[in-house]
A and B are shown apart, each in its own frame.
Chain A
Amino acid sequence: MNRQRPWDCDMATVFSLDLLANILDRVPDPRDRKSCRLVCRGFLRAEELHRRSLRVLRLEVLPGLLRRYASGLECLDLSVCPALDDRSLSAALAAGVDRLRLRSVSLSRASGVGWRGLMALVDACPRLEAVDLSHCVGVGDREAAALAAAAGLKELRLNKCLGLTDVGLAKVAVGCAGLEMLGIKWCLEISDIGIDLLAKKCQDLKELDISYLKITNRSINSISSLGKLEVLNMVGCSDIDDEGLQSLKHRNNSLRSIDVSRCENVTSSGLTSVIEGSNCLQKLNVGDCFPELAPHFLLKLNCLKDSLTVLKLDGFQVSASSLKIIGLNCKNLAKIGLSKCQSVTDEGISELVASCVHLTTIDLTCCHLLTDKALMAIGDQCKQLRCLRLESCSLITDKGLEYIGTCCSNLEEIDLTDCSITDTAMQNLSRCSKLLVLKLGLCYMISDEGLVHIASNCRKLHELDLYRCVEVTDDGLAAIATGCKLIRKLNLCYCTKITDRGLKHIGHLEDLHDLELRGLCHVTSSGIAKIAIGCRRLSELDLKRCNLVDDEGLFALAQYTENLRQINISYCPVSGMGLCMLLGTLKCLQDVKLVHLSLVPVEWFEIALRASYEKLKKLKLLTGMRKLLSPLLIEKLQLRGCRIRWVDKPPAAC
């Protein structure tokens, strides 16, 4: 009756907890760790003491988890925790031990959390060093002021905190003087005055993201006084021009990475002064700034000969001679981005790769002139290639990919979207057994045969994109499901030959997180049920325009996919009952798209949304619904931080 299993206590006595923790450290897969935890108390205890990070998927377990892991927990990720608000957060924190040792907390997209919750957090975690509040659009100065009480804060991400103004930034700058990393991307209210104060107060800043702010050269001048700054991201700051960048010229060369892409008023001369000022630059992103590379800029790259490893030149007119100079000057280049550089030719690529043999990532998206010759050159030279993006390179053929397949055995990611390739290419690529990401969208000629090749050898595949691969049928999916068991992300949109039988095979992919089934007109609710039962980890599902999926499918989802976070059931023939069941039951659901549910009456919409308003963070509805839904409900949703997108779409467009 009460008998302990003999090895239960043995394990803890034979091995010390440290040892058990060491063993656990060597078990990377969370599922395996869970098994270990369940096997004996020794492991359970060891994990309690040694667990450092935690990602919480459900709110109700948060207090218990914090209590159990209080001793060792350092990183807490609450970004996907549904229905989190001030009250629940402070309750959970109070339920833990006296002082949590948390160092890093992510509250990204936790739109329900306001300044009271943050105050409780700062209060409960005296060691707090990193906080992520990105995309909490409701966050403003009050919240920043609450965070400013955490004097030890080193990393703070406030991207897209739309309410944040200079005042809030000043609070943070004064309160957290030791700040090393700050992200205020898209905080559109922030101006030069705030940046100036930040630069004066937080002299230890190493990384700063000021992308898309409406700031001028004055800010860059202030920033140039930051002696330790290593990473500066200033994407899309269109008020900044060469004059501003010139102020970076006279600084010590701590800068390692700078991103000035989409700064429309920046030209070669501004970049030249940046290079002059920081000759240890490792990353340089100048995409979409100005069309042509001036020769003096190319020559200046010589200053960065040894250091520069990443260069992004998206949208430039890059001639073969330019690429040759780049190759000669930057021999250590590991990543190059030539996306949308339409003038890039085979010759240019050959010149480049002839010098840069260490390239691991080559982005050639939309380089329409490239042919197989370029791929041959890449295959010959870049043996370490891990990522190759060839989207819309319409002239390349199977022959070119043969070189890649045979020569680049380290290839992990390849994007062949919109390339005219056939199953032969798949056969060649299947030699890259380390392949993790394969994108074959709009490759109409790919069929089951190609997928069989992939499934036969690429067993590590994580992500497969088969968007509009209309030839793919259930048999292809069967091969994938047996060969590539680790797939997490699968896109089968508009592969119209797929039926429920195919989905049954998909149901065997236990790791599947993200599944897109848009416009599969032969798929019915029973197929969806197979997926719901099989893919228990599913968190994102797109069923838009699956014309045969009705309430039955939603019931199955409601019952089985308890981790489902995001769903799109627009245009599906579901009834109010199914919608209510789905929204009411799934506790993790946060992002719902409900456009044109013609069978659902407004009252049912109202009930369904009322049942789920606490957890919803994003909602897409028809504009017409705005007047039909009760204003109180809309107000409630918005008060909880839910963003409602009202769209106006035709009812039956295909």
Chain B
Amino acid sequence: MDLKLRKPPETSSKASSTMANDISKNLKPDIQFIRFDSASLGYGVGQDQSMSEVSPQLVSQSRCFYAPERETKIKNHLGLSSAIDWNPRLMLSNLSFLEQKIHQVQDIVRSIISQEDHAVDRGNELAAQQQLVTADLTYIIIQLISTAGTLLPNIKNALLSTDPAVGQQPSSAVGTNANLSSCAGQKPIEILPPEVAKSSEYDELINDLDACAGEGDELINCLNNAGGAELSDSMPIDDHDAKDYDDGMDGENLPPGSYEVLQLEKEEILAPHTHFCLICGKGFKRDANLRMHMRGHGDEYKTPAALAKPSKEASSEPPIIRRYSCPFVGCKRNKEHKKFQPLKTILCVKNHYKRSHCDKSYTCSRCKTKKFSVIADLKTHEKHCGRDKWICSCGTTFSRKDKLFGHVALFQGHTPAIPMDDSKVSGAPDQVPASESTNGMAGFNFTGSTTPNDDARSLDIKGADDCQGYFSPMNFDACNFVGLDEFPRSVYEVSESPFSFLSTGSCSFIQRHGEN
């Protein structure tokens, strides 16, 4: 790819310290991006994992093109120009680049079509090409938006500036959340009518490209949000919400009608990011993270006011209680449901939707069995996975002691198995004096004087100690071999004796184990 060559010459000419910083940062993603295009062809299209990994790179890749715009924006800030002040030349160059890019994609698609005719078995190559197309299209979208985005930062800058007159606009909503969606929302329209056309244009543009999967989604959603009439201008996502996995509103009993019900669309819910940098387009899950990120774009974002959490002080009247509905019709959390139970926050909506109505695409890498649709759930599980140290005699494993004891209480005859380490310790004391017992008991062998029958029985006891009729292969591995492991040597020999048939399963195991 020739992306690197596309770097506008103006960037290098302006050598402010922050700029230089940005460029050096940008160079790296470039390389990665190229590698992605050429090498990582195996990515499944539309897979969340791969996409979420790639997206920041894509976004940052596009950042180098913003550099000139940022300068204009900085100028804006210095009070040099009015709200709409953009560089038509730059716009043109960007557009012509886009055109080229589109041609490229067209070529690839054509070649795919031609391949389809004679080569059937080249699935790999085809997939690779599809991948390439997707990536290219994604890139085009981002590029397009960023090009168009040149228009938007002007508003944003105005909003984020420390100017008190602007900060106390009647549209408190804008103040609370200065991301792209809110900027393009309805309220700003009143202030800056010319923007409406622009934003709706994006909408159309995006809709045309709707086929493009994955990466573009977030942007699409983002813009959808902007267009969505019922979406609130402030998304009540707080940091602590992230830890709150509760779907519902347990313990809350709001009478119907006492709150406003919002319903996000599926795409909005599944969007990975909700806050976007208007300069470079990078997406963030939290507004606070975006604000931190903005610091890199210039000193004006480092002021306490810019960094402060947007407060809702402007709304002195009691806040409207807002609850959310799941877009999935028939779901209890859907507002059409008879026993509708609203969701408390956006985060609840997201987690609920993913858990209840989406595929469980995240598989635990350790146990390979547990699947999750919410990545946080996976992480929580992975913390404990493989550490199921609480084992019942029936072989069932538990991660928590109280769960095991609940199970034991429920089933007759089940007992907790004794953990491995413990038995090793308690078995040890007998080994040491065994070698040098010099008193009257000298020469006495623990199992030596018992009858063969006793041996067989004690063996049987060992085998069945922890299971008491609830024998399962899992159980065997999990607990019983612990006991056998440390049982005196003579027991191993018994396994070869005529009594070995008494517990065939355990005996064969012993033999195997004894050989070690």
Contact = CB atoms under 8 A, between A and B. Distances in A.
Bound together: yes
Interface of A: 59-60, 83, 85-88, 90-91, 94-95, 112, 114-116, 119, 123, 138, 140-143, 145, 148-149, 163, 166-168, 170-171, 174-175, 193-194, 196-197, 200-201, 614, 635-636, 639-641
Nearest to A638: B429
Contacts of B432: 635-636, 639
A193 B405 contact: yes
B83 interface: no
Interface string B413-430: 111111100110011111
B461 A641 contact: no
Contacts of A167: 416-419
Given A86-B446, A123-B458, A614 B433 contact: yes
A193 to B, nearest CB: 5
A174 B444 contact: no
B433 A140 contact: no
A88 B443 CA distance: 11
Contacts of A641: 429
A139 B439 CA distance: 25
A163 B422 CA distance: 9
B417 to A, nearest CB: 8
A205 to B, nearest CB: 15
B119 interface: no
B426 A91 contact: no
A163 B416 CA distance: 16
A193 B418 CA distance: 16
Contacts of A142: 418, 422-423, 426-427
A90 B441 CA distance: 11
Contact of A114 (B413, B426, B439, B441): B426
21 contacts: A60-B440, A85-B430, A87-B430, A91-B441, A95-B449, A112-B429, A138-B429, A141-B418, A142-B423, A145-B415, A167-B417, A168-B418, A170-B405, A170-B416, A171-B416, A174-B413, A174-B414, A614-B439, A639-B429, A639-B433, A640-B429
A91 B444 CA distance: 8
Contacts of B454: 123
Interface string B304-343: 0000000000000000000000000000000000000000
Contacts of B196: none
Nearest to B401: A193
Contacts of B439: 83, 614
B414 to A, nearest CB: 7
B426 A90 contact: no
Interface in B473-488: none
B480 to A, nearest CB: 12
A96 B432 CA distance: 27
Given A90-B446, A193-B402, A171 B430 contact: no
Interface in B391-413: 401-402, 405, 408-409, 413
B418 A636 contact: no
A447 B450 CA distance: 63
A123 B427 CA distance: 19
B415 A85 contact: no
Given A87-B441, A171-B415, A193-B402, A114 B429 contact: yes
B413 to A, nearest CB: 7
A373 B440 CA distance: 64
Contacts of A149: 461
B405 A196 contact: yes
Given A116-B446, A197-B408, 5 more contacts: A91-B441, A91-B449, A94-B450, A142-B426, A174-B413
Given A170-B415, A174-B413, A174-B415, A86 B430 contact: yes
B82 to A, nearest CB: 70
Contacts, number: 98
Contacts of A145: 415, 418, 465
A168 B444 CA distance: 30
B426 A197 contact: no
B420 to A, nearest CB: 11
A634 to B, nearest CB: 12
A142 B417 CA distance: 10
Contacts of B461: 119, 149
Contact of A141 (B422, B427, B440): B422
B240 to A, nearest CB: 29
Contacts of B423: 142
B504 interface: no
B437 interface: yes
B37 to A, nearest CB: 56
Contacts of A174: 408, 413-415
B409 A200 contact: yes
B430 A163 contact: no
A636 B441 contact: no
Nearest to B400: A193
A614 B429 CA distance: 12
Contacts of B426: 114-115, 138, 140, 142-143, 163
A141 B421 CA distance: 12
Nearest to B487: A116
Nearest to A632: B432
Top 6 A-B pairs, shortest CB-CB distance: A639-B429, A167-B416, A174-B415, A142-B426, A193-B405, A141-B418
A228 B335 CA distance: 54
Nearest to A145: B418
Contacts of A194: 405
A85 B433 contact: yes
A170 B430 contact: no
Interface in B430-476: 430, 432-434, 437, 439-441, 444, 446, 449-450, 454, 457-458, 461, 465
B410 to A, nearest CB: 9
B408 to A, nearest CB: 6
A66 to B, nearest CB: 14
Contacts of A193: 401-402, 405
Contact of A166 (B405, B414, B430): B405
Interface string B131-150: 00000000000000000000
A140 B446 CA distance: 21
A46 to B, nearest CB: 30
B458 A87 contact: no
B446 A88 contact: no
Given A114-B430, A115-B426, A87 B409 contact: no
B230 to A, nearest CB: 48
Contacts of B416: 166-167, 170-171
A200 B411 CA distance: 11
Contacts of A95: 449
Interface string B158-179: 0000000000000000000000
Indicate the member of B413, B417, B418, B432 with the most A CB atoms within 10 Å. Answer: B418
A148 to B, nearest CB: 7
B413 A640 contact: no
A141 B479 CA distance: 14
Contacts of A59: 440
A199 to B, nearest CB: 10
A197 B409 contact: yes
Nearest to A149: B461
B458 A119 contact: yes
Contacts of A175: 415
A501 B286 CA distance: 93
Contacts of B434: 87
A73 B350 CA distance: 73
Contacts of B440: 59-60
A635 B440 CA distance: 23
A94 B448 CA distance: 11
B478 to A, nearest CB: 14
A525 B461 CA distance: 56
A140 B430 contact: no
Nearest to B482: A142
Contacts of B402: 193
A95 B451 CA distance: 12
A178 to B, nearest CB: 14
A70 to B, nearest CB: 17
A112 B437 CA distance: 14
